[in-house]
Amino acid sequence: MLQPAPPSPWTAIVISGMDGTGAHGGFCGVLLRELEYLVALARERHFARAAAACHVSQPSLSAAIRKLERDLDVPLVRRGQRFAGLTPEGERVLLWAQRIIADADALRQDLSRMREGLSGTLRMGAIPTALTAASLLTTPFCERHPHVRVSLTSLSSREIARRLTEFEIDMAMTYLDDEDDLGEARVSPLYEERYLLLTPSDGALAGRQVARWAEVAALPLCLLAPEMRNRRILDANFRRAGAVAVPAIETDTVSALFAHVATHRWSSVIAHAWLHMFGVPEGMRVIRLERPAREPRVGLVVAGTGPESVMARAVLDIARDLDLREVFDRLTREHLT
C-alpha cells in the first residue's frame, strides 16, 4: 500500500523583499494566480489559449506573467511573434509552480474536509483497459462523498506519468510494471490482469478447457491497437509461444472490440476485468488461456512528490475495503462454468 509522502517544503505564496521596500530586489509579491497563469501558458503553449483556460483576457495574463518576471527578476518566457517556450529559469519556476499549486489545492481540500466533509473534484486518469473497473471504485466513493465530482479521463500509461508529475491529475489506474514510465510514483496494487479467449460457441477452439497462445494466433482475431500497452503485452505472450498474431481488426477501445466480436466472425483475447462491464456476448464463450509466467499488475498510482491528495487518500480508503482481485476472479469462474 501507499506510504505517506514526506512533507514538502511549502513555499509561501507571497514573499516580501528582504529590504521591506517592495522593490524588485529579491522575491516579492509572488501570487498564486500568477503561477497558475504560467502553468497554463506552459501547457497550452499559446497566450490566447492559456488566457481562455484561465478565464481572463490575454492582456491580463500577459501582464501578470510580466509582473511575475519582475518580481523574480528573471526572464521566464521566450517571446517573439508568438510564444516560443520557457527560458531555463522559466522551466525551473514551472516545476516550483506546479508543486505550489498542488500544495495549495491539497490545503484547501484538507480544510474543506475538516469543515464540512470532502468536496471539490477528483481528477482521475485510467488506461483504457482499466476504465471498466474504475466504476467499482468511483461509485462507492461518490456514495461516501456526495459533494465530490469525479472527472475520469482515459489516458495512456505515458500520459498518466506526465500528468501525475505535473499535478494535473490526483491519481490514476494503470499498469504498475512500467517502472520507467511511473518514475517516483507511489503505487497500490489492485489486481493481476488475467487473459481469456473470447470466441464463437461453434469456433475451432470452443470445446477446449484451456487454449494455447500459438493456437489462438491462428484464429481470425480482433485485438486492441499495437500502440496500446495491453496489445504489447499480448504480442509478447504470442512471441514467447513462438507465434505472431495478425488480427483482421484493430481498435483503440474495448467497446469497439466487443462490438466486432459479438458478430461471431472474430475471436479476441480479453482481460478478465472486462467481463464486469461487457460479460460474454450471446453465442460466444470464454476459454482459459495458458497463464504466462508473469501477469501484469494493475493498480492505483499517485505522485511520489508533494503532499498526498485528500481526494486520492479517500479513493485509497475505498480500495482497501474492496478486494478487486477476488471480485474479478470470482466473475471469471462464473463465466467459465
Residues 256-280 pLDDT 10s: 999 999 999 999 999 999 999 999 9
pLDDT for the residue 112: 67
For residue 115, pLDDT over 70 is answered with no
pLDDT given for residue 272 in this prediction: 96
Alpha helices of 183-286 — where are they, by DSSP H? Answer: 213-217, 229-240, 254-261, 275-278
SS3 123: strand
Percentage of the chain with pLDDT > 90?
50
How much is the average pLDDT of 247-253?
96
More confident residue, 25 or 188: 188
Q: What is the pLDDT of residue 307?
A: 66
DSSP letter for 135, please.
Answer: H
- Report pLDDT digits (tens) over 141-166: 999 888 889 999 999 888 998 888 88
d(CA 282, CA 207): 16
Higher-scoring residue by pLDDT: 160, 99: 160
Q: Is the pTM of this model over 0.85?
A: no
**Is residue 213 within 8 Å of 240, Cβ to Cβ?**
yes
pLDDT at 117: 67
DSSP letter, residue 2:
P
pLDDT tens sequence across 178-209: 766 676 778 899 999 999 999 999 999 999 99
